[in-house]
Structure 1
Amino acid sequence: MNHVPRKRRRSARNRRDFFVFLALALPNLALIAVFTYLPLINNVYYSTLNWTLGSASATVVGLQNYVTFFTSPDATKVLGTTAVFTLATVGGSMVLGLLVALALNTGARGTTFARSAVFAPYVLSGVGVGLVWLFIFDPGYGVLSWLLRGLGQQSPQWINDPQLSLAMVIIVYVWKNLGYCAVVFLAGLQSLPTDVLEAAALDGATPFRRFVSVSLPLLSPTTFFLLITTMLSSLQAFDLIRIMTPLGTGTSTLIYESYLQAFGAFNRAGYSAAISVVLFAILLVITVVQLRFVERKVHYS
């Protein structure tokens, strides 16, 4: 006789929990739908148009914008610049971040201040960081050129030379973001099981051997997380490139090429949207590949 009331109470509780879930989740889901998925769908539609920014009319051209991009001589250069920038910034940030994390994990005096100093550039405005470093690299009146002139050397043309411009932006981007990698790696190092490290030390393993054979494999979840986040961030890097190389000389990545096509001298909004869709597809493929294949090599225990 008591089964029916109990089932009714359970059903009422489940409905109440469901409505509470909707009340908490629906505002967030609505914001995501309006500000993320709706613009994405609109951008895919715009990529099928021959549309000049500001024009009241547009012509549907289907996939012609994609064909134009991939057959243009600039496509190889833009994709190559994007690949070089992403690989260099991701690799540089993670390697240097790990080395800095190892130094901060020693327990020496002043590590708290050093940790704050290393992480500070990451939270600074990219515009401010770009302006400061642009003053340092400027071949005419920059700090670096002043030091080189004092040594009797000529300053490289960092801004005018396409290859040096890319190297300049990579250096600044790595400097700005290695603090993020260092702090995350430091958290991973401090969470490693001490009994495993002590057992390896008792077995006679050298510090380097313990790091390579024990610490590094146990850091694989942290490394995997940083690999995804830093790669997605690098592919979407914009502010430093915009401030330090406004014309995109040698630094025209996919996202910056999309900006130049839409808001530069061309005003090709449809073509710019197509480039943005290509970037989205690359981000999606990279994320799926990492989650599907790279995660298999991650040790969570």
Structure 2
Amino acid sequence: MSALTELRSLGDSKGNSKGKGGRKGRIRHRDNGAGYLFLSPWFLGLLAITIGPMIASLVLSFTKYNLLQPATFTGLDNFTRMLSDDRLHQALTVTFVYVFVSVPLQLALALALALVLDRGVRGLAFYRSVFYLPSLLGTSVAIAVLWARVFGADGIFNQFLNVFGIEGKGWISSPDTALGTLIILNVWTFGAPMVIFLAGLRQIPTMYYEAAEVDGASRWRKFRSITIPLLTPIIFFNLVLQIIHAFQSFTQAFIVSGGTGGPADSTLFYTLYLYDRGFANFDMGYASAMAWVLLVIVGIFTAVNFWASKYWVFYDD
């Protein structure tokens, strides 16, 4: 009888554990359902605003479509046309120069100011906000209009040069300097990478600098052997982010050039030419093909950065 009682008690305990497990499973399932319910607006936005248009543009890239008539399939004609499109080649050249010049200068300035602010400047929160403000306004139409007025023939910059007896010119209307003004504008919006650099500098342990001081290391030696190696993950992050952002630049060139690409197409960014083909010439099939080429270009640059990072990015762990 005792053995039978033990078997019954064992069975009851298993049944209770299964019941508890079932209740836990139902509770977990209910919690997951609530989570998916709250995430559903984001999933709908992802499908309707991101994935759906991407698939549509991929399909349109193989068609001839002018927004007014049904699209007709043309195969790879849009992509082969790019090989003989001189304005597209000019747009690529302008965009590459803009990216390769403005991004390093922007990151160098952001790092330099982050190093200054990291030394305990009084009113750090104020300076951080002031330096970050151009990043919020740099891509706006208002700042682009202001920039066109600053570097115009009668702009503030020429008035400043006149004080020293230097005769200015229309910096934006000149094909030799128009792109340079946009590069300066992008460098001026250094606030976002500066804040990220500043956060990275605050994470470097002070014991490394203290040990270097004991060894008699100079300030430059500490910067080269401690700050830069430990900051390479932040540099890598800012580099990838700013390259992608630079390839997507549009508003500045559109406002400054009036949507034409500037004198001799000197400010014809790739995105500006894409807009011109799609919405000014109603060649939406060609514009869609250009969009996917841009996606591939950005993807290649990002992949190369990730591949090269293993040779120069140092992780403390």
TM-score (norm 1): 0.91
User: What does 1:125-140 correspond to in 2, within 5 Å?
Assistant: 126-139=140-153
Q: Could you tell me which residue of structure 2 aligns to residue 215 of structure 1?
A: 227
Aligned partners of 1:173 and 1:240 also within 8 Å: no
Distance, in Å, in 2 between the alignment partners of 1:73 and 1:43 is 23
Deviates more, 1:9-18 or 1:61-70: 9-18
Q: Which has the larger radius of gyration?
A: 2
Q: Could you tell me which residue of structure 2 aligns to residue 299 of structure 1?
A: 314
Q: Could you tell me which residue of structure 1 aligns to residue 278 of structure 2?
A: 262
Deviation of 1:40 (Å): 0.8
The one of 290, 298, 303 aligned to 1:288? 303
Q: Could you tell me which residue of structure 2 aligns to residue 26 of structure 1?
A: 40
The one of 67, 88, 99 aligned to 1:75? 88
Deviation of 1:296 (Å): 6.0
Number of matched pairs: 297
Paired residue type of 1:256:
L
Distance, in Å, in 2 between the alignment partners of 1:92 and 1:33 is 37
Deviation of 1:146 (Å): 2.2
Unaligned runs of 5+ in 2: 1-12
Unaligned runs of 5+ in 1: none
Deviation of 1:165 (Å): 0.9
TM-score (norm 2): 0.87
Residues 240-292 of structure 1 deviation map (CA, whole Å, 9 limit, x = unaligned):
1111112112111211110111223x222211111111111112222333334
Residues 1-28 of structure 1 deviation map (CA, whole Å, 9 limit, x = unaligned):
3342343244334423432332233321
Distance, in Å, in 2 between the alignment partners of 1:11 and 1:227 is 45
The one of 282, 294, 312 aligned to 1:279? 294
Question: Runs ≥4 in structure 1, deviation > 4 angstroms?
Answer: none
Deviation of 1:104 (Å): 1.0
Q: CA RMSD in A?
A: 1.9
Deviates more, 1:231-240 or 1:56-65: 56-65
Distance, in Å, in 2 between the alignment partners of 1:174 and 1:237 is 13
Deviation of 1:212 (Å): 0.9
Residues 71-120 of structure 1 deviation map (CA, whole Å, 9 limit, x = unaligned):
22233222111111111221111000000111111113343322222111
1:219 match: secondary structure: helix
Aligned partners of 1:44 and 1:273 also within 8 Å: yes
1:163 match: secondary structure: coil
Change in CA separation of 1:152 and 1:219 when aligned onto 2, cut-off 3 Å: same
Residues 35-84 of structure 1 deviation map (CA, whole Å, 9 limit, x = unaligned):
0111111111122222224x223322111111111222233222111111
The one of 233, 237, 246 aligned to 2:245? 233
